[in-house]
Amino acid sequence: MTYKTEQESFWAGNFGVEYIERNKSAEYLASNLNFFSKALARVGTPDSLIEFGPNIGMNLKAIKLLFPHIDLSAVEINEDAAKILEETISKESISQCSIFDFEPSKKAEVSLIKGVLIHINPDMLDVVYSKLYAASKRYILVCEYYNPAPVTINYRGHDDRLFKRDFAGELMEKYSDLELVDYGFCYKRDPAFPQDDVTWFLLEKK
């Protein structure tokens, strides 16, 4: 498959497969349960959610435990990860493709992206923002590394693979009907439920 950016090829290939092994522990699932119970508290009981870039679905597993009747769907670029994801949500609910190529056929109450925007080529962020917005009926949950100004950081020995900025702020600037409902920070040194220094923002369409 031909991709538009180097970052897509990076995650569709071996590095995306290696990521599977690093992020499937019971401890990570427990941390995600704690994380989403806070990040989605203002949503109530969502009836549907789509995640962009779920890998094998550790976020979706936690969300399914919190909301057993929720309708889940996903967009995942890595073929190996998408196959494992089928253990959590139905194959029909998984779009195995680049986010850039995804066209939502229906809207979910919540659009979720967690630890993915930081790996998107900055020149293509506007495309991803439009996908997140188009797929959402009401809420967008952005969970990423935050920085007030755009910066690039070496990622596991690779250049141009991790970018920090104010993703939520840029979304609100792009779409004037989006309002900040809630936000928070999770610290990697949390003694009980660590996350990788994630700052989350819950946005709502008004």
Lowest mean pLDDT across 7-21, 68-82, 157-171? 7-21
| Contact present, 139 and 204 (Cβ < 8 Å) | yes
Query: Is the pLDDT score of 181 beyond 60?
Result: yes
| Contact present, 39 and 63 (Cβ < 8 Å) | no
Confidence bin at 109 (pLDDT 50/70/90): very high
Confidence bin at 36 (pLDDT 50/70/90): very high
- 170 Cβ contact list (under 8 Å, min separation 6): 125, 129
Question: Which CATH superfamily includes the segment(s) 6-205?
Answer: Vaccinia Virus protein VP39 (3.40.50.150)
* Pick from 106, 92, 97: nearest CA to 49: 106
Buried b (16+ CB within 10 A) or exposed e, 120-156: bbeebbebbbebbbebbebbbbbbbbbeeeeeeeeee
Spatial distance between the Cα atoms of 195 and 190, rounded to a whole number of angstroms: 8
- The predicted pLDDT at position 46 comes to 98
Spatial distance between the Cα atoms of 157 and 49, rounded to a whole number of angstroms: 34
Q: Which amino acid is at 181?
A: V
Spatial distance between the Cα atoms of 185 and 18, rounded to a whole number of angstroms: 27
